[in-house]
Structure 1
Amino acid sequence: MKTAFRRPDIQDAFLAVLLVIVALMGYDPANWLLAGVCAAAVAVRRRWPIPAFAVALLATVVSPSATADLAVPLILYTIAAHRRRGVSLPLLGAGLVVATARSVYGTGDGWQYTGPFGSGGQTLQPEEGTAGIPVLGALLVVAWAIGWGVQSRRAYLDELARSAALAVAAERARIAREVHDVVAHGLAVIVMQAQGGAAAFAKRPADTLAALDTIVATGRASLADMRHVLSSLDQVTDAAPVPGLADLPRLVDQVRQAGTPVELRVDGAARAVPTGVGVSAYRIIQEALTNTMKHAGPGARARVSVTYGVTEVVLEAVDDGRPVAAGTGNGLRGMRERVALLGGSVTAGPGPDGGYVVRARIPLDPAGPA
């Protein structure tokens, strides 16, 4: 029963019955018809709010009564809560005009029962002028204000829900980029080690064992990175720290062990940077070296430089492999998205002397894109 009463149509029917009861208290059959009309208007106020308001307001003009003066504010509340202000305000004005007219053309100061009690002619009626501005007008203003407040709160909550949905989408995109970077780099190293180990198996079994050790270490490191990325979904507190610029030597050594010579150069005074900057810088270099291993061809060499400026970090990853057209894959798109979120810039494409070049500039005080 409690759940059923929450249904809007049940609530409106209940209010309509209450209004009919108020009308019947007067024992005046002359007003029962108008009371029934007002009750019906309240019952359909959600489906046809504006016609219902017009009918109830007309009833207050034809025969002022408590039933009519309660129905009009109820319907106005519904309109203010669900329609734009350009619709509800004129209707509030129309109601205030009727209330003012009743105040101007009548006198008196209160609702009262007319006719001797128990005579059968007793009815709840306003004294002349009383249900104008002091009663009906006040009820209309209060009903409109409450309805408009409900609509404003609903709009605010909807905006919060939209903002939350955008935040969830952004977090999903971030996790997707992290997963791509971790998996792509780990698999590139594993594939190269597996190919080298298979080639050396017949004549250099020791090299094959070393390649297998590297595959195991790379797989474990990739799994650890994956657990860290996915831990953000359930707030795991014992996850490994996020990678940053200080972890680039380990990354470079990993790529060297996979068979690609890499030179790492750091210019300027290395220092702590914001976590977002450090993670993005690491992932950009990781993606660039992964592309070198995948696309530059055998014998390619790579050079990585990190320059610490006063206001920004400049990254460059260059290889001398075979020419590759500018790509549009997930990795490069992820680079651009990371840097754009931090208010920086990135370029990637074939170098002037062959090979491939990735350059990125990331502000040390990221404020997001302008």
Structure 2
Amino acid sequence: MTRSSSDASGSELPAPGVIHARDAPVTRAPYRGRVFRPMLRAQVITDVVIAVVLGSLVLITSARGMDTPLAVVTVVGMTAALALRRLSPGLALAVAWVFAVFEMLTGQMPDLSNVFIAAVLYTTSAYGSRRVRLAGLVSAIVGSVTAALYIGVDDYRNRLTIETASTPFQESLQVTVSYFAVVLLLLLLPWLAGLVLRTRRSASMSREAQLLAERDAARADRAVAVEQERVRIARDMHDIVAHSLAVVIAQADGARYALKADPAVADQALGTISTTARRALGDVRELLGALRHEQGTVPTPEIDDIDRLIGEMRQVGLDVRVEREGDPAGLPTTTQLAVYRIVQESLTNAYKHGEPGTPVHASLTYRPDTVEIAVVNRRADDGTRGPGTGHGLVGMRERATMTGGTMTAGVRGPDFEVSVRMPAVPASGQMPRGRVTPTAGPTASPTEQERTAR
């Protein structure tokens, strides 16, 4: 059999009887509401040629044995059903039934063209709709019974005129049963073969759909991983560069004003600028090394580095007052890094957006199961000191969320407060010190309150 058009590419039928071979793909879904299936023109021509050749061979081989010219009509009808078997299984089945009944009504004996019915039943189960498939099964059973009775009755009439070893009815009954078994196998086996082909084709389509779904899921996972990596890089670059540049700018401004009045202060400010810039450069190199899957050359900041961070902020004029409770010695690397970056960003924001000359209160509480951070600073009177983009707050929230914690940030009267609560052991588990491979958690867009400069 030629492969079904449901597995090939073709165009939809613009009109009954007109078929165009194009490159547009044919849907694999069963055709509904149409008499003809979408097929390529080459496929239709192939089916017609095969049917004509087989029908001609039947006429040639059975020409002498034909009792009446009406037998030619039966062969032509069965040939037409064979030609239509894939283009329209339902119509081919109806044509086969019409000419089979015509054959019996005109008293013809079955010829080789009746074998074409087996091919029609094969296509009804392989390519037909649910109704056509069911009609093919019923036709195989009913057709076998009808053919057996037709032959049995004719055989019984013939045996009435001759002497038989037993009664004519018994002998004709044996012929009828035997003929029924043969015809049932001839018609039912092709129908079952078509059903097997249909099942295998459906399984293949399911596997293809599963592979496509898995491929799409892999693409989505890769896209999410890329986006998470971009967010992580942006967060780390912001934490490293924003803080360092804020310190450098503050020290540079101070050195410029102190250069003439007190060169020693200016020299100290320039030293702070140099140290901060070198440290920032080392952090950036570490980040770039991690992106290249190399071990960073500078250790990851830990809670012990918070004292140095507070010292830097005090040097630029920020009055930081710290309250500590508990022992952070047993905290894993990821938690220590998150605490350091959150404190760093909170102090940087307080310096950029807070009221100058007012103290900044930082509270660090270490409990066996949780870590709590609170940073409170006075907002600037005009509310516009230092432009803000909200990236710092987003980064802090992401770091808190990554560890399984929560963060709130907003106005509390005249102050602005950042409050973070996170588990002592992050949800992702313990990670080796000196190397951090965070997985980005859900991001939240900063609220308008968070975007407002403090």
Instruction: Tell me whether 1:309 sits opposite 2:336 in the alignment.
Output: no
Within 1, Cα distance between the matches of 2:382 and 2:187? 91
Within 2, Cα distance between the matches of 1:32 and 1:275? 81
* TM-score calculated relative to the size of structure 1: 0.69
- Indicate which of 184, 187, 194 corresponds to 1:128: 187
How far apart are residue 32 of structure 1 and its match? 7.5
- Indicate which of 223, 230, 233 corresponds to 1:165: 223
Instruction: Tell me whether 1:330 sits opposite 2:391 in the alignment.
Output: yes
Within 2, Cα distance between the matches of 1:238 and 1:323? 43
- Indicate which of 331, 336, 342 corresponds to 1:273: 331
The correspondence of residues 186-201 of structure 1 with structure 2, limited to 5 A, is 186-201=244-259
- Taking a change above 3 Å as real, the CA distance of residues 94 and 324 of structure 1, as seen in their structure-2 partners, is farther
Task: Give the corresponding residue for 1:364.
Answer: 424
- Indicate which of 295, 299, 304 corresponds to 2:353: 295
Within 1, Cα distance between the matches of 2:143 and 2:297? 78
Task: Give the corresponding residue for 2:407.
Answer: 346
- Taking a change above 3 Å as real, the CA distance of residues 15 and 187 of structure 1, as seen in their structure-2 partners, is farther
Considering only CA atoms, is the larger Rg found in Structure 1 or Structure 2? 2
The correspondence of residues 150-299 of structure 1 with structure 2, limited to 5 A, is 150-299=208-357
Contact 1:304–1:316 (8 Å) recurs in 2: yes
How far apart are residue 230 of structure 1 and its match? 4.1
TM-superposition CA deviations, 1:95-154 (whole Å, max 9, x none): 54144224423559xxxxxxxxxxxxxxxxx9333212x311222222222212322332
How far apart are residue 237 of structure 1 and its match? 3.0
How far apart are residue 239 of structure 1 and its match? 5.0
Within 1, Cα distance between the matches of 2:233 and 2:377? 28
Instruction: Tell me whether 1:100 sits opposite 2:159 in the alignment.
Output: no
* Structure 2 residue matching 1:235: 3-state secondary structure: coil
- Taking a change above 3 Å as real, the CA distance of residues 292 and 71 of structure 1, as seen in their structure-2 partners, is same
- Taking a change above 3 Å as real, the CA distance of residues 350 and 143 of structure 1, as seen in their structure-2 partners, is closer
Q: Which region of structure 1 is more displaced relative to structure 2, 301-310 or 229-238?
A: 229-238
Within 2, Cα distance between the matches of 1:157 and 1:240? 39
Within 2, Cα distance between the matches of 1:203 and 1:217? 23
Within 2, Cα distance between the matches of 1:34 and 1:234? 69
Q: Which runs of 5+ in 1 are unaligned?
A: 1-6, 42-54, 77-90, 109-125
Q: Which region of structure 1 is more displaced relative to structure 2, 168-177 or 58-67?
A: 58-67
TM-superposition CA deviations, 1:345-368 (whole Å, max 9, x none): 22333455x443322111224448
Residue 234 of structure 1 aligns with an amino acid whose one-letter code is: R
How far apart are residue 265 of structure 1 and its match? 3.4
Within 2, Cα distance between the matches of 1:358 and 1:258? 21
* Structure 1 residue matching 2:419: 3-state secondary structure: strand
* Structure 2 residue matching 1:105: 3-state secondary structure: helix
Residue 361 of structure 1 aligns with an amino acid whose one-letter code is: R
Task: Give the corresponding residue for 1:88.
Answer: none
- Taking a change above 3 Å as real, the CA distance of residues 346 and 143 of structure 1, as seen in their structure-2 partners, is same
Task: Give the corresponding residue for 1:111.
Answer: none
Q: Which region of structure 1 is more displaced relative to structure 2, 336-345 or 218-227?
A: 336-345
TM-superposition CA deviations, 1:55-75 (whole Å, max 9, x none): 3454466454659846974x6
- Taking a change above 3 Å as real, the CA distance of residues 211 and 20 of structure 1, as seen in their structure-2 partners, is farther
How far apart are residue 324 of structure 1 and its match? 7.4
Contact 1:300–1:321 (8 Å) recurs in 2: no
Within 2, Cα distance between the matches of 1:193 and 1:131? 91
Contact 1:320–1:355 (8 Å) recurs in 2: yes
Q: Which region of structure 1 is more displaced relative to structure 2, 258-267 or 135-144?
A: 258-267
* TM-score calculated relative to the size of structure 2: 0.58
Task: Give the corresponding residue for 2:50.
Answer: 23
TM-superposition CA deviations, 1:237-279 (whole Å, max 9, x none): 3453433323322322222333323333331121333444333
* Structure 2 residue matching 1:299: 3-state secondary structure: coil
Contact 2:52–2:79 (8 Å) recurs in 1: no
Within 2, Cα distance between the matches of 1:104 and 1:130? 11
Within 2, Cα distance between the matches of 1:274 and 1:24? 79
Contact 2:93–2:121 (8 Å) recurs in 1: yes
TM-superposition CA deviations, 1:297-321 (whole Å, max 9, x none): 4433333221111321001223356
Residue 255 of structure 2 aligns with an amino acid whose one-letter code is: G
- Taking a change above 3 Å as real, the CA distance of residues 328 and 174 of structure 1, as seen in their structure-2 partners, is same
- Taking a change above 3 Å as real, the CA distance of residues 258 and 167 of structure 1, as seen in their structure-2 partners, is same
How far apart are residue 231 of structure 1 and its match? 4.1
Residue 100 of structure 1 aligns with an amino acid whose one-letter code is: L
Contact 2:375–2:418 (8 Å) recurs in 1: yes
Residue 405 of structure 2 aligns with an amino acid whose one-letter code is: G
Contact 2:287–2:296 (8 Å) recurs in 1: no
Q: Which region of structure 1 is more displaced relative to structure 2, 18-27 or 181-190?
A: 18-27
Within 2, Cα distance between the matches of 1:253 and 1:107? 99
Within 2, Cα distance between the matches of 1:143 and 1:342? 49
- Taking a change above 3 Å as real, the CA distance of residues 65 and 279 of structure 1, as seen in their structure-2 partners, is farther
Contact 1:295–1:324 (8 Å) recurs in 2: no
TM-superposition CA deviations, 1:178-205 (whole Å, max 9, x none): 2222221111101100011101100222
Within 2, Cα distance between the matches of 1:32 and 1:210? 104
How far apart are residue 331 of structure 1 and its match? 1.4
